[in-house]
Structure 1
Amino acid sequence: MADKLAGKIAIITGGGRGIGGGITQRFAEEGAKVAIVQRNEPQEKMLNESIIYMKADLSNSDQIASAVQAVVERFGGLDILVNNAGIMFEKTLDEMTEADWDQMMDINLKAPFLLTKAALPHLRKRSGASIINIGSIEGLASNPGHPAYSASKAGVHGFTAAVAVDHGHEGIRCNAIAPGWINSDLSELYIDSMPDKDRFRRELLIMHPVGRLGEPKDVGNLAVWLASEESAFVTGQVYVIDGGRTKKLPLPVA
């Protein structure tokens, strides 16, 4: 069977680790050429003829525009944009400063706007262009202490719908993926910070009907489908990928 993304060119922000790394891996396996766009250089072992790195501060509009242009010049076009890079911190409204709020919105919501705006002229030139925004189940609900994060991800979901409506007639589709708990270096550090990490991990597994936590490759598999022609009639949607966590009603602990 032919590679699903053969001949496609993709930009993946924050594609060097975590969820972004899982998407990068799967795109490359399916024949795409990938440009990882982020501030810090990814591990060298990730890079090859099909996966390159473009440095950019995603809070800087000039650097974003330059990175997109550089990718197009290097690979000869652009078919897929994955707005994955994001930040998260835990602060209540009382604890949060205006600068904290602005930082969250700049990276999680403004950067996807700037990247999409810079990519549109190039995506218009291609057949079957696809934009994939990484939202979150916290764009649909919220954990304690996440007002800024939840607001930013809800904004990503709304932005996804608007782009799909405005640019569908140009052959550009736009969808969002809303991951739940996905294993990563950062999630492991979070678990390790718990007073009783073993109990925390057990209870975390109980929250998921599938009996396991998510892996970056799980999100990568869904992203491949959304980037491919197999999803040609799909746009404006938010796909929750959380092992059933948001569908399971909690019961009191005995």
Structure 2
Amino acid sequence: MSTTGFPKGAAFVFGGSGGLGQGVALEFARAGVPVAVGYRTKADVAQRVAGQIREAGVSASTHQVDVTDVAQVKAALDAAIETHGRVHTVVWAAGPFVNQRHISEMRQEDWRRAIDVEVMGFFNATQAALPHLRAAGGGSFVTLGSAGHLRWPDRDGLSVAPKAANESLIRGLAREEGRYNIRANSILVGVIEAGMFPILLEQGQFDQKWIDETMQMLALKRWGKAHDIGRAAVFLASENAAYITGQQLNVSGGYGL
């Protein structure tokens, strides 16, 4: 184990070009960990993030991948392993942009897309990564879930419900793969000033009443930052959390307490 608290090799961040994924990637870099930045369409953003990582003196690579395509997921991981020698951490930060809708107003195509990307995508990533993690003597999965698992946020079901399936899979991975020194944990993400939230806010999908009521439910009276999520991901993947698996770390400013 190196002084960074990680073995040699990289963290692969699926969704590394997203608002939260960027924050996660940069925090791994600040911890001295090479990063493989996965993206689907935002090549310019992925390249910018990789450039920032390299400017910090840390190795970085970018990998275009549609997570609903099994072959692409495997190819992206293989390429990252070839570049960095090993992938010891898989961070799941991928997910489609979803509108705020009550369950009664959800469209089947929106639900299907959310399940395909969030649930099937993460399953594809685990299937591709497990043989490598086992052969390398262990590793870690970290998923970005939702604080909405603890208290249902009206109209956010297209984001929250699919993530609930991944929460269950994380527990299964922790249980079944611990014998191979593979750990699996999740971060329950609150309202963060990155990713979808600023876009939805700009579109007017959250009104002032929602903002006031949500802020009232926070113990810490501010929205979270992408680096808050990134630092939690680094901790869970590091040697500092070596005896932690199958757990949820709620990073939401005390939402719903």
Q: Counterpart amino acid of 2:78?
A: Q
Secondary structure of 1:183's partner?
A: coil
Report the Cα distance in structure 2 between the residues aligned to 1:33 and 1:52, rounded to whole angstroms. 8
1:72 alignment partner, one of 63, 70, 81:
81
Distance in 1 (CA, whole Å) between partners of 2:206 and 2:71 is: 45
Aligned position for 1:38: 39
Are 1:238 and 2:248 an aligned pair?
Answer: yes
Contact 2:99–2:200 (Cα < 8 Å) also in 1: no
SS in 1 for 2:62: strand
Unmatched 5+ stretches in structure 2: none
Match for residue 133 of structure 1 among 127, 136, 143: 143
TM-score (norm 1): 0.88
1:195: Cα distance to partner?
A: 8.8
CA 1:126/1:246 → structure 2, altered by over 3 Å: closer, same or farther?
Answer: farther
Native 8 Å contact 1:128 1:229 kept in 2: no
Quote how far apart the aligned CAs of 1:67 are: 0.8
Q: Does 1:92 align with 2:102?
A: yes
Q: Which residue number corresponds to residue 155 of structure 1? A: 165
1:225 is matched with 235
Alpha-carbon deviation of 1:61?
A: 1.4
Structure 1 position 86, deviation (Å) = 1.1
Flag the 1:204–1:94 CA change in 2: closer, same or farther, 3 A: closer
Q: Which amino acid aligns with 1:168?
A: G
What is residue 91 of structure 2 aligned with on the other side?
82
SS in 2 for 1:7: coil
Q: Residue in 1 aligned with 2:50?
A: 47
Alignment match of 2:116 (pick from 95, 102, 106): 106
Deviation at 1:204, TM superposition (A): 4.1
Kept in 2, the 8 Å contact 1:10–1:35? The answer is: yes
Q: 1:51 offset after TM fit, Å?
A: 1.9
Is this contact kept in 1: 2:191–2:252, CA < 8 A? yes
TM-score, structure 2 normalization: 0.87
How many residue pairs are counted as aligned between the two chains?
A: 247
- SS of 1:135's equivalent in the other structure is strand
Runs of at least 5 residues in structure 1 that lack an aligned partner in the other structure: 248-254
Compute the RMSD of aligned alpha carbons: 2.2
Aligned-pair distance for 1:199? 6.5
Moved more, 230-239 or 47-56: 47-56
